[in-house]
Structures are given as C-alpha cells and as structure tokens.
Structure 1
Amino acid sequence: MNNACLVFEEVVFRYPDTRGPALQGLSATIPKGSRTAVLGHNGSGKSTLFLHAVGILRPQQGVVWKDGARISYASKDLASLRRSVGLVFQDPEQQLILNTPLEDVSFGLRGSGMAEPKIKLRCREVLERLNLTELGDKPIHQLSLGQKKRTALAGVMAMEPELILLDEPTAYLDPVSETLLLDALEDIHTRNGTTLVMATHDMNLAYRWADWIIVLDQGICKASGRPEDLFASRDMIQSIGLGLPLLADVWQSLPPELISGQKAPRTADEFKVALSALLTSIERRGNTVTRF
C-alpha cells in the first residue's frame, strides 16, 4: 500500500432500485504517479469507482484508502480529499458553470481563499499550458467540444491536485483536439508527477498511453497490470467482450519464434522500430519469413 495512490478493498455499492450492485467486492490498486486506464463496458463500474474516489459515494461494504489512510467522510476531511483529487466529467457542460474559461478556471481558486494576484498568475499559467490563452475571455457556449473539455481540465489543474480522474476525456473529439488534450495531460504528469486515471473505451489509446491498466466487468476487477502483460492475455480480454488494441493484435499475429523474448511495441513508432529490427535479424541469419 506504500506505493499506492488509491486502494479499493472489497468495495460493494448498490444504487437504489437496481437489480444488482454497481460494485460487488471490488478490489483494485492505482499506483502513485501512474497513468492508469480503467477499461470496461458501460455499467461495469468505472464511473461509480470515480465517485467513490472523490467521496461523493461511500462504500456500503469495504474500504477505500487514499495514500495509505482510510478515507474519512467527515465534512472537513472530504473537503481536503476533494482538494487533492480532481474529477473531470465526460460531458464538460456538467462542469463549466461560468461565462468564460478565465472566469471558470478562477472560480475554484477564489473559493480556496487564494490571493487575487496569485489567482491571476495561476490562471494565466494553466490557460497557457492548455493552449487556451486566446480563448480566455470567449463565451463558453461558443467553444468547440475539445475546447470545453480542455477548459474543464484547466479548472481542475488550477487546483493542483495530486490525482486527476478523467471520465472518457477523448470521447467525440477530433484527432487534433485529442492530441492537444493528451499533450496537456502528459505535461501535467511530467512536470508535477500527478497521478492520472482515465476511464475509456478506446483500447488503442489505453494501450499506448497507460502504464497501468484496470479491467472492470460487472462491478469487479477482472484483471490489472502493465499494458503489454495484460493484453498478452488475449483470451481473458475477449472473454469479457473487449477487443485487443490493433498493435497488440498485429504483434501477437507474428510468428512466435520471431517475437519470443521481445518487448511488445505500444506505439506506431515503436512498432516500426521493432519490425525493422526483426527483419534485419532475419536477413542476417539468411532466413526467410514463411508466414505472418
């Protein structure tokens, strides 16, 4: 538990008037400083996990631990928890409450009692890091979906939490907007060592982005581990109706004698390098590739 940011221990939670529990004995660990992807179908428990992480929901059975300490649900302790854990909703319209990005980003800071000069400096830095400077005074209703998502992220970033939870952050984004958002997350992670947790249906994104993956199914953790190890278990992934990432699928389709002992590539560039090395090795041995 020493290197864990969050630990869910046998957590059970049932919403009113539902047949089964949303979480049924969920046990999972989110490593500190990681980029963790949470995978699973709709209804698998991803959003419910997030709501427990910020103390909006409370386990009916089991325990949630934050940095080695059991989460307390006293008002003062919850306020402290929510300063250290930021949640970015899938729909930014649920999160943006003021008229412009600048006003919205400064809202939480003013609520924390921060001095006005420091608020202005923090807002300027955050908007710049998310490529929103020129949009700071633009009405939020005139922003694109990608700009709204980055504004919602900016509001969370401004509070400088230790952990940021993102619910389907790239859903419905065009490639350019997705790249801008992911670049911003990489900047946060690299500069501050912030733990990032992303719920997503995008297997390709999870494979190339995350360094730890949690797979949920019907409210339990079916598997967790490093992407290259977890997606090597084709049968487990497919047994719960999830598809393999394209690069993992292609890599595993190569002859086993070629890739045995080789680290599975997780990005297109890594795949090109790995494939080039394999072909060079084959040529040096004077062998031919008989099947793919």
Structure 2
Amino acid sequence: MHRKAFFILVAFIMIVSRMSAQTDESHVCTPLLTDKTVTQIEVDIHGNIYALVQNQNLYKLDSQGEIIAQFSYPAYGKLSSFSVSNPEKIFLFYKDAGVMLLLTDQMVSLSQPILLFDLDFFNISLATYVNNSFYLLDQQEEKLFVMDHFLKIKQQIQLPHEVQNCKKIVANLDNSVTLYDEREGFFFYDSFGNFEKKIGLKIPHDFQFLGERVIFPDQSFLKEYYFDRLEFKETELNHILNPELQIISLRIHTQFFVVVDVQGKLYLCKLNR
C-alpha cells in the first residue's frame, strides 16, 4: 500500500472508530459555499477540499473551509471529472470537448491543454492521472490506454466484453488499476495490465477507494466494503450527524469529513468538542 493510501486508511480507521465508540458525541457540520450547488467533491492528502459547482467551477478550500483558489473554463463545457491524487498536479477531464488539463496547487494551468481529438482519441469516456501517467478508457474499443507524461502510449489493457458501463477508474502509484462497472462490479488489474480478479459488488459509483476497501454513504449509514475479506461494515450516521441531512456524497480525512446532501449543499463536519 503506497504512502498516501496508508495515511488516509489510518485516518479512516480513527474516524470510524470514534464514530462507533462515541455515538453520544455529535459532529458539527458547517455549511460551505452556501449559495452554490455542488456536484462532486474530493479531499487531498493535505486536507484541502475540492468542490465542483454545477459541473463547471472547481473550488479549492482549506481544512477550515476557506476558499484558496478557483478554476473555470466555460469554453470546454462540462467538467466530467477531476483527480487530486497529486495536489501539485490537479487533473481535469472534459469529456465532451476531448480535453485534459493539469493545474498547479494554486489552480493555474500547468501546461497547454491536452487535446485528445488531435491525438486520435475520439471515444474516451473516462480519464484520470496518477504518477505522471494518463489513463484513458475507450469503451467502444474495450481498451484502457496508459500514456506517459510525453503522451506516448506505454500500455494497452484489453477489457472484457462485459465492461460496458464503466463509471470510475482507480489508478494506483504501483501502476495497478481498478475499474468499476455499475452493472458488473469491480475489475482488478496488476501493474503489468494482467487481469487479477472480479468482485461483483454494485454500489453507488461516488465512493472513496482506500487500499483494500471502499467507503460510501447509503441513506443513514456509512458503509465500508473489504475486498480482501469480502464483507461489509456499516456505521449509523444519524448518531453523529443531523438526521435531517440526506447525504449522497462523503469524503474522509484525518480530523474531519465533508459531505454533500441531496440538494447539492456542501458541509464540513468536525467532532463537537
């Protein structure tokens, strides 16, 4: 397990342990970006919070909820996804425009936009960036392309025909990859692109991947699934959060977690001391 996953995993264990053992203690959830509708969230290893507003404006906030920076490029249309696995190289993917961008930690363009159509990639549905490599999913060709920082293809992974509804790519620092298909579940590949295993688990595709487990909110529960043990654990959120909060997205960090409710409102939640 690489360093980032280790520290986040330790943080996750600490927070969930507190949730389970201190059910009489509530968390205070402070609303952030109160006039905005948030569609995606992430948290980086430094505790910075990223919130995508109405699929176009990306905000970066510190661990206290203060805005640090903002990025928007309306000409590219909808921002399909973003990755903060490397906070120094924030990755943006505009599917419809066929554009990838890398930003600095101050949310300034790091280089020229990468135009996928000019590279003869016309059907990329998902993309991410980890460890100076770009991962591009072409479901029509049923392939996952891995490109280096110079945009040279260094690996092609042939996908099984059953992967027709892939919703997420999870790439790791050791070059192993996990794909999530909303109908078929999780497909695991090693660092050489060899298929390892399939786990037919169907969950909301907005999950947080932590080593050998995934976590996600499900109605009034925080659920975690262990891939190595093939088992679920769950923590009741109503004991620690306002029961009126209907959570659809959640990200955990060391001393806090952030949530988005069904109305797209963002909250920063910390233990009430």
Q: Normalization by structure 1: what TM-score? A: 0.30
Greater Cα radius of gyration, structure 1 or 2: 1
Name the structure where helix makes up a greater proportion of residues.
Answer: 1
- Between the two structures, name the one with larger relative contact order (CA 8 Å, sep ≥ 6): 1
